[in-house]
Amino acid sequence: MSEEDREYPLEKIRNIGVMAHIDAGKTTFTERILFFTGKTHKIGEVHDGAATMDFMKQEQDRGITIQSAATTCFWRGHRINIIDTPGHVDFTAEVERSLRVLDAAVAVLDGKNGVEPQTETVWRQASKYNIPRLVFVNKLDAIGADFEMSAKSIKEKLGAEYVIVEYPIGLSSEFRGIVDLVKMKAFEYKSNDPTVLPVEVGIPDEYKERCDELHQELLEKLSNFDDDIMMKVLGGEEPSVEEVMKVLREVTIANKIFPVFPGSAYKNKGVRMLLDYIVDLLPSPIDVPPAVGTDEDGNDVECVPGDDKPLAALAFKITTDPFIGRLTFARVYSGQLKAGTYVRNANKGINERLSRLVLMHANHRQDVDAIYSGGIGAIVGLKNTSTGDTLCDESRPLTLENIKFSDPVISEAIEPASKSDQDKMTAAILKLVEEDPTFHFYTNNETGQSIIAGVGELQLDVNVTRLKEDFKVNCVVGAPQVAYRETIKKTAECQGKYVKQSGGHGQYGDVVIRFEPNSGKGFEFVNGITGGVVPKEYIKPTKDGLQDAMTRGMIAGYPVIDIKATLFDGSYHDVDSSEAAYKMAASLALKEAAKKCDPVILEPVVKVEITTPNDYLGTVLGDISSRRGQTEGMNTHDNAQVINAYIPLANMFGYISDLRSMTQGRGIYTMTFDHYAEVPKSVAADIIKKRSE
Ligand SMILES: Nc1nc2c(ncn2[C@@H]2O[C@H](COP(=O)(O)OP(=O)(O)OP(=O)(O)O)[C@@H](O)[C@H]2O)c(=O)[nH]1
Ligand SMILES: [Mg+2]
């Protein structure tokens, strides 16, 4: 079978993501899959900077995954498209967009820690898209590994139903084999060498009892969902392996239960056995509900897989390849992308030509004539398609739901080192912005400074390093700043009247708007005009003028969020009224609101999980309160304390080095953006003062 043609029928395709907390071993796991499937002939280790999937220089230098990388491999007549995602919270956009286009995932846990904070985040993202998941408990070779604790943490921390399908023989340095609880067969590894296959052995005596219990547990859990198995379990009869596999597959695909598997990617254990389960349990594109698009009249359209159906594909990622230029990654839901044809970009309302199509294998490309239904591939040279756009047939225009990304919470001023770097810098930043939907670039209107903004310090640092190294731009960045927001706390009715009588034609706009707090619900505009006191054609300009003014802020120049504005009164002038005059009037109404509605500054607050040895607990807790943080809870984990706290992001810059010095290098932490909260008055005064300087 050739790799690129349709000889792989839809039911033999698996589109899966690998997701987890940072450092759980996703990339190491993916490297093993590539090796066992014969895709690579030598295993590259992450810590040597040699992993196939972490090919970007920044990834190799830092030993972490930054961008999701796609590859394709083949197992037992199936084609598996895999996307290895990053675990660091600053790159969750990569996880979000990957999960958006995948049919299933493998969640990797670090067997020493079980479910970790970022696992919770990516797990929730996957749940949002109803993605079936297998859980791989990795690093069972490591000291402190605890398989059953890790499995239990799935229920405790994620609230998810799980079922243990394989059980480890030995842990840490003793980890030497795996029992398959469906077939009740044990396999022992005689070597860490990946080319030496495990041999079947009898279930060791000391594991018999536990494995029998877990086998029963597996049948009982399945019997909750299947009457035949229930009857057999009740009657003391053993269901066949085929029967168990069939039901296990159904409940996995229906997201009712998450099967759990043990292993050590690094020591080449458990991955090959899991490959079988990936093929056997995870859905093909036709086992999941078809993608739903929206046509031009707002009706739902099901995009049923099939090469002869009209095209529906979602562009989910743009990268710039040094050799061939702009690459647009797309998932094809129905129909096919065919080289040499035109497709409709429904979001932009334009046609684009598919001049060249490729399948991606990490950073290697393979030219193909078509990307078929259910497939994932990349288009070379599309000019006007951005992340989230739908490609379709001109005869059936539709849009698939766009991908939502987090808003920036921090920013940094950036300056070219010399005048000659200015243009180069702007062009390069725009390329990075195109690749990363959470990376923003704009000019501060007041200061004229160029600003880059994003979701975390690491993300900005990686992008700035890429500017310098990959694009050879000499630039200097300022200290990171928190992206504050503004909102109001009181309801009030505010008039904005803009009247200018200068000789001939004048200007006249007059609106009265009720502003109300709209916490967590964003901006809402209601047209409550009756009797045409503000003519219809000036309603939209009023809304636009208001939104525009909101970006400039009310007290300290930060964007205004979470307000409801009801336009309910005003007046007009037969000759002098204009769109521009109503825009001005709306911004004057917002100025009025700044006086009447008790405006406040909001700051991003992050949820932080800090692990510290007991000895330093007091110091770390004291430091949290000095950062205006609030400790929410604590628990003990292996002689260490795990602290959960909420801390304003503004006080978290450089925390890693502070924590290290407080704990003699032994403390670690992770943080994720949680919410926006009002800053205390004294802090607000400081912020306003700094802004006005
Ligand atoms: N002992 C042990 N170490 C492992 C295992 N799997 C991975 N590691 C090590 O853990 C570190 C992190 O592994 P990665 O594969 O980069 O983890 P990741 O989940 O891809 O990390 P990010 O992509 O940066 O989130 C590396 O040093 C690996 O060698 C394992 O099974 N056992
Ligand atoms: Mg990785």
Radius of gyration of the chain (CA): 28
| pLDDT, tens digit, 9 for 90 and up, residues 616-627 | 999 999 999 999
Higher pLDDT, 49 or 348: 348
- Residue-level pLDDT at 3: 42
- Tokens 């059980």 correspond to what residue? 167
Mean pLDDT computed over 249-273:
97
Q: Is the CB of 211 under 6 A from ligand 1?
A: no
- Residue-level pLDDT at 4: 47
Confidence of residue 1 (pLDDT cuts 50, 70, 90): very low
Mean pLDDT computed over 144-153:
96
Tell me which of 33, 46, 175 to substitute to probe ligand 1's pocket, judged by most ligand atoms within 8 Å of the beta carbon.
Answer: 46
Residue whose CA is closest, atom 5 of ligand 1? 266
Nearest to 93 by CA among 451, 364, 409, 337: 409
Which residues, at least 6 apart from 649, have a Cβ–Cβ distance to it below 8 Å?
A: 409, 410, 482, 603, 604, 605, 606, 673
The Cα–Cα gap between 555 and 439 comes to 26
| pLDDT, tens digit, 9 for 90 and up, residues 211-240 | 999 999 999 999 999 999 999 999 999 999
Q: Is the CB of 22 under 6 A from ligand 1?
A: yes
Q: Is the CB of 264 under 6 A from ligand 1?
A: yes
Q: Is the CB of 65 under 6 A from ligand 1?
A: yes
Question: What is the residue-wise DSSP string for 77-103?
Answer: TEEEEEEE---SGGGHHHHHHHHHH-S
How high does pLDDT run on average in the chain? 92
What tokens does 96 get?
């979000």
**Span of 3-7, 194-198, 323-327 with lowest mean pLDDT:** 3-7
Tell me which of 28, 31, 91 to substitute to probe ligand 1's pocket, judged by most ligand atoms within 8 Å of the beta carbon.
Answer: 28
| pLDDT, tens digit, 9 for 90 and up, residues 290-348 | 999 999 888 999 999 999 999 999 999 998 877 788 899 999 999 999 999 999 999 99
Mean pLDDT computed over 73-85:
93
Q: Is the CB of 47 under 6 A from ligand 1?
A: yes
Q: Is the CB of 23 under 6 A from ligand 1?
A: yes
Question: What is the residue-wise DSSP string for 96-135?
Answer: HHHHHH-SEEEEEEETTTBS-HHHHHHHHHHHHTT--EEE
Tell me which of 18, 19, 21, 27 to substitute to probe ligand 1's pocket, judged by most ligand atoms within 8 Å of the beta carbon.
Answer: 27
CB 640 within 8 A of CB 616: no
CB 68 within 8 A of CB 95: yes
| pLDDT, tens digit, 9 for 90 and up, residues 610-667 | 989 999 999 999 999 999 999 998 988 767 888 999 999 999 988 988 999 999 888 8
* 428-433: long-range pairs with CB below 8 Å, 24+: 428/467, 428/471, 428/473, 429/467, 431/320, 431/471, 432/463, 432/466, 432/467
Per-residue pLDDT at 386 exceeds 50:
yes
Which residues, at least 6 apart from 574, have a Cβ–Cβ distance to it below 8 Å?
A: none
% residues pLDDT > 70 (the chain): 99
- Residue-level pLDDT at 5: 54
Nearest to 5 by CA among 241, 222, 307: 307
Mean pLDDT computed over 551-574:
94
| pLDDT, tens digit, 9 for 90 and up, residues 530-546 | 999 999 999 999 999 99
Distances (CA, A) of 341 to 6, 148, 348, 619: 18, 53, 18, 65
Confidence of residue 453 (pLDDT cuts 50, 70, 90): very high
- CA–centroid distance, 135 to ligand 1, in Å, is 16
- Residue-level pLDDT at 68: 85
pLDDT winner (highest mean) among 62-71, 314-323, 523-532 = 523-532
CB 352 within 8 A of CB 315: no
Q: Is the CB of 494 under 6 A from ligand 1?
A: no
CB 118 within 8 A of CB 26: no
- Residue-level pLDDT at 6: 64
Ion ligand 2 residues within 5 Å by Cβ: 26-27, 65
Please say whether the dihedral angle defined by the alpha carbons of residues 208, 209, 210 and 212, taken in this order, is positive or negative: positive
Mean pLDDT computed over 37-49:
84
- CA–centroid distance, 47 to ligand 2, in Å, is 10
Tell me which of 23, 31, 137, 147 to substitute to probe ligand 1's pocket, judged by most ligand atoms within 8 Å of the beta carbon.
Answer: 23
- Residue-level pLDDT at 89: 85
Helix, strand or coil, per DSSP, at residue 424: helix
Per-residue pLDDT at 274 exceeds 90:
yes
Per-residue pLDDT at 502 exceeds 80:
no
Atom of ligand 1 nearest to the CA of 265: 31
Hey, which bits of 445-491 come out as E strands? 450-454, 475-477, 481-482, 485-488
Mean pLDDT computed over 420-445:
91
Helix, strand or coil, per DSSP, at residue 156: helix
